[in-house]
Each structure stands twice: as C-alpha cells, then as structure tokens.
Amino acid sequence: MTLGSQARSLAGNVVVYASLVLAATVALLPLIVVFMAGFKTRAEFREGGPLGVPVDWFHLDNFITAFTRGGMAMGLLNTTFILVVSVTGSILIGSMAAFAISRFDFRGRRLVVFLFLFATLVPAVTAQVATFQLVVGMGLFNTRWAAIALFTSTDIIGIYIFLQFLRGVPRSLDEAAYLDGASSFRVYRSIVLPLLKPAIATVVIIKGVAIYNEFYIPFLYMPSRDLGVVATSLFRFQGPYSADWQVISAGVVITIIPTLIVFLALQRYIYNGFTRGTGK
C-alpha cells in the first residue's frame, strides 16, 4: 500500500468509527440517564443535574414504590398472562389457516387470502372507533379477554410468516403420510406443526414484542387499575408521580429490563425474526 492510500484509509476508518460511536451514544445516552435517575433520592434528583451519577447505587426505594404502589408488579403479571394466551392463540390460528391455504385447493381460497391481506392495511388505532362498540356488546369490556381477543384475531402477521415458510417445505412428507392413511389433522399436528418451529419462533418474537409494547388497546378496553398491563401501569405514573421523576424513571427501567434480557438472550433470532417478518 502506498503512503497516500494508507492515509486515506486511516481517515476513512476515523470517519467510520466516529459515526458509529456517535450513533451508539445517541441511542444509549437517554437510557443511561434514566437508569441513573432511578437510583437517586428525591433531593438528589432535584439538586443534581441529569448527568450526575447516583450517590448510592443500592438506593432501591424508587423501584419498590414503582413495583408496589405504582402497580408495576401487577402490570407484569397481567402482561405475561395476556401475552402467553394471545401468542399461543395466534400460533394456532395462524398455522391452521396457513395449513389450509397452502396445502389444499378449494373454492374461495383466493378470497380468503385477500381477506387476510387486506386486514393488515386497516389502521389499528382508528379501527377501535367501531371495534369498541363490538367489544362492549360482547361483554368483554374491562376484562383481560378484550385484549386477548383483539391481539389474537387482528394483526394476523403469523399467517404470512407461516405461508412463506410452508412454501419452502416439500409436500412429499404430507403425501407419504396420507398414503399411509394419516388424517389431515395428523398431518397438521405431527408433520406441519413440528416443521414450522423456526417460523413459530419468529412469530413468538414479533407478536411478543408487539403485545408487550401495545399501549392503546389495554388503555381503551381495560381502564380498571387491577387490569393494568406494563404499558398502562407505567402511563398512570404521569399524574401521581409527576413531581417524582426518580420514581417514573424506576418504572421505565422496570419496563425495559425484561426487553433487554430477552434481547440479549435471543439476539440472533430477533434480528432474523424482524428481517423475515417485516413488510407483512
């Protein structure tokens, strides 16, 4: 390498790393500042600047307040219940529909595909203007089942992921099973469902993140405090703790920690999931 091109590639490297460090700082700084605020006392928070490091890293009062009086413990429980039921429901519904659409030829198949596709275009929040009457009419208002029903039956992204995946699975396995006298349910249950495992992982990730983060549906349909999920319990900090930003910060940290743990544990699957699953 000549001296000139070496200098140029050094300058190039400086630009590359400077850009990356800057981007990482912008992404992290707001999180770090809030994390530190969670450990500060009220006086410390008032008097010190936001960039100051907390005096006592074991000052956990804010977290205790957020968990108990702030309802974050209840929120985590409700979210977990709704998430597990809805994700399981989505996987069953999505895989059954995808099995029927991709493995059978029947009248109305194109119409069914169209109906599922078109549904993804409907803007979710504004649709609640009409869905609300229905949910109230079904007696689901102010129950966890309102959120579960909507999470399971709308935003049916699972079907697309399963359809895409099944396209790459040869049908020879199903056919061999049929020849051996297996029923279609047996084929679905013992051949298709196990083969779908990687696609199911993708759906669990995408749907799980979406449900954990969903704010408006629980906010609209589950106003009772006992039914608070993570997002709505945190949102309710706004009034009572508006003078106690250190408590709000602790609530934010509690909200983010499960996400962070899942992200660190499943990084690779998460990237793959979103690369595959976006653009429904």
128-147: contacts with other proteins (CB under 8 A) = 128-134
Binding-site member from 65, 86, 152, 202 for other proteins (CB under 8 A): 152
Q: What is d(CA 143, CA 99) in angstroms, rounded to the nearest whole number? A: 32
**Residue 30 engages other proteins in binding (rule: CB under 8 A):** yes
Helices (H) and strands (E) in the chain, counts: 15, 0
User: Residue 150: which of 132, 126, 168, 174 has the closest Cα?
Assistant: 132
| Least spacing, CB of residue 151 vs other proteins, in Å | 10
Q: What sign has the CA pseudo-torsion 263, 267, 271, 277?
A: negative
Residues in contact with other proteins, total (CB under 8 A)? 100
Binding-site member from 1, 4, 106, 265 for other proteins (CB under 8 A): 106
Q: Give the orientation angle of helix 197-213 with respect to helix 72-103, to 10 degrees.
A: 140
Q: What is d(CA 25, CA 161) in angstroms, rounded to the nearest whole number? A: 34
Q: How far is CA 146 from CA 18, 88, 135, 159, in A?
A: 48, 16, 7, 21
Binding-site member from 10, 11, 31, 173 for other proteins (CB under 8 A): 31
- Residues 217-276 within binding reach of other proteins (CB under 8 A): 220, 230-232, 234-235, 237, 245, 248-249, 251-252, 255-256, 259-260, 263, 267, 270-271, 274-276
In the three-class reduction of DSSP (H, G, I as helix; E, B as strand; rest coil), residue 224 is classed as: coil
Specify the stretch interacting with other proteins by CB under 8 A; choose among 55-63, 65-73, 80-88, 104-112: 104-112
How many CA atoms are closer than 13 Å to the CA of 189, on its beta-carbon side?
Answer: 5
**Residue 14 engages other proteins in binding (rule: CB under 8 A):** no
**Residue 127 engages other proteins in binding (rule: CB under 8 A):** yes
- Residues 155-214 within binding reach of other proteins (CB under 8 A): 156, 159-160, 163-168, 171, 174, 184, 188, 209, 212-213
| Least spacing, CB of residue 58 vs other proteins, in Å | 22
Binding-site member from 109, 186, 197, 225 for other proteins (CB under 8 A): 109
| Least spacing, CB of residue 124 vs other proteins, in Å | 8
Contacts of 232 by beta carbon, 8 Å cutoff, 6+ apart:
75, 215, 218, 219, 222
- Residues 33-62 within binding reach of other proteins (CB under 8 A): 33-34, 37, 49-51
| Least spacing, CB of residue 26 vs other proteins, in Å | 7
Q: What is d(CA 81, CA 93) in angstroms, rounded to the nearest whole number? A: 18
